[in-house]
Amino acid sequence: MTDVSEPNGVEAFAVAGGPGRHLREAREARHLTVAQVAAQLRLQSRIIEALEHDDYHNLPGSTFVQGYLRSYARLLGLAEDHLVGLAQLEGVTTPSLVSSIGAGGSDEASSRDLPFRIVSYLILLVVVVGLGWWLSQREPQSMGLSSPAVSTTGGEQGLLLPEEAPSLPVEVSLVAETVDAGEVETAPDESAPAEEAPAAEAEEAAVVAAPPVAAPQAAATVNSPDAPPTLTETMPQSRLELEYREKSWTEISDAAGRKLAYGLIPEGKRLTLRGEAPFRVFLGYADGVRVYYNGDLFDHTPFQNGDMARFRLGRAEHNRPLSR
């Protein structure tokens, strides 16, 4: 028999037998109960009793048994490796988790790895392609179909309906018409009795009254038997003004189909157009044009797609005859 001295002065026991006897004798030498050891190790008392009786069949497994033994030996100041070695002689084996996986599971993992990768890549590819298509379909709508805008000066412009995203006009080869006739404004018709109209409408008529634009309408009615009748002062109408800070291709028609403006309008021009609202407006360079509807500045930036803008402006109930 060989005696081994421990660092803390606790005397080691003989190798003969399992580690349970050594643990029990060391515990009793320290005047500790099973309950006290269980409380310090935070284990159940039945586990301490099973360790002291080398009863490993009622314990979870060899990995847990070795952990319990090391904790118990550390508490009592015994050699941990020495007690674990005694337990291995009693049938507690060292875990061999890595070796078992390497020996039995490598073929299965490798046989399933390639199909799993292929399926994963295909799913990822479908998701990426679908997301890209969805974004490509959504982007033009978010740029062109924004919520209806409100005039910066208020008023009754409640319905401003945007149209589909504008495209470059296909009729660029046609001769552009510069509309100058709409720039002429005259005094209101004084033949109508002033007392029959409200004061506010009489004041507005004095400011905005102007004859209908003749030049674009004449161009629209050439060789067209189904063209709408020429607009007169007694017909309901609204006023549309465009101020060109930069030159811009312009196409404007009213609700009756009258082509009020069509062509490249140069910088510095100011068009005053009359027709039946709502107006259909296309501007080739929207940033260079200011739009006024019945005297109110209209913000057309929400309907821009790049430099161009296409929108409908006004309501039918806004139309009023000039003679009123």
For 50-105, write each residue's pLDDT tens digit.
Answer: 888 888 887 877 888 888 888 988 998 888 888 888 877 666 665 544 444 444 44
Residue 169: name the closest of 244, 259, 243 by CA: 259
Q: Quick check: 214 pLDDT over 60? A: no
Whether the predicted model's global pTM rises above the 0.75 cut: no
Percentage of the chain beyond pLDDT 90 is: 36
Q: Quick check: 107 pLDDT over 90? A: no
Given this model, what pLDDT does residue 156 score? Answer: 43
Given this model, what pLDDT does residue 301 score? Answer: 93
Given this model, what pLDDT does residue 262 score? Answer: 95
Count CB neighbours of 258 within 10 A: 24
Topology annotation, domain 19-97: 434 Repressor (Amino-terminal Domain) (1.10.260)
Q: 104 is written with which tokens?
A: 């039995």
Confidence of residue 108 (pLDDT cuts 50, 70, 90): very low
Which of 150-154, 308-312, 317-321 shows the lowest per-residue confidence on average (mean pLDDT)? Answer: 150-154
Domain with CATH 1.10.260.40 in the chain: 19-97
Which of 23-32, 44-53, 185-194, 248-257 shows the lowest per-residue confidence on average (mean pLDDT)? Answer: 185-194
Q: Quick check: 173 pLDDT over 90? A: no
Q: 278 is written with which tokens?
A: 């709502």
Confidence of residue 8 (pLDDT cuts 50, 70, 90): very low
Given this model, what pLDDT does residue 159 score? Answer: 45
- At 138-161, the pLDDT tens digits run 755 545 444 444 444 444 444 444
Residue pair 188/206 in contact by the 8 Å Cβ criterion: yes
d(CA 85, CA 79): 10
Q: 251 is written with which tokens?
A: 């196409």
Q: 97 is written with which tokens?
A: 């988790």
Helix or strand run (H / E) with residue 73: helix 62-76
Span 125-148, average pLDDT = 72
Q: Which of 145-159, 205-219, 295-309 reaches the highest mean pLDDT? A: 295-309
Please, is 220 exposed, middle or buried when counting C-beta atoms within 10 Å of its C-beta (0-12, 13-18, 19+)?
middle
Count CB neighbours of 165 within 10 A: 15
Mean pLDDT of the chain: 72
Given this model, what pLDDT does residue 69 score? Answer: 86
Q: Quick check: 109 pLDDT over 80? A: no
Residue pair 140/146 in contact by the 8 Å Cβ criterion: no
Q: Quick check: 106 pLDDT over 50? A: no
- At 111-125, the pLDDT tens digits run 567 888 899 999 999
Q: Quick check: 276 pLDDT over 50? A: yes
Given this model, what pLDDT does residue 63 score? Answer: 86
Residues contacting residue 29 through CB under 8 Å, at least 6 positions apart: 10
Given this model, what pLDDT does residue 155 score? Answer: 42
35 phi and psi angles, rounded to 5 deg: -65, -40
Given this model, what pLDDT does residue 281 score? Answer: 96
Confidence of residue 225 (pLDDT cuts 50, 70, 90): low
DSSP classification of residue 81: H
Residue pair 148/278 in contact by the 8 Å Cβ criterion: no
Higher per-residue confidence, 247 vs 104: 247
Residues contacting residue 267 through CB under 8 Å, at least 6 positions apart: 244, 245, 246, 247, 288
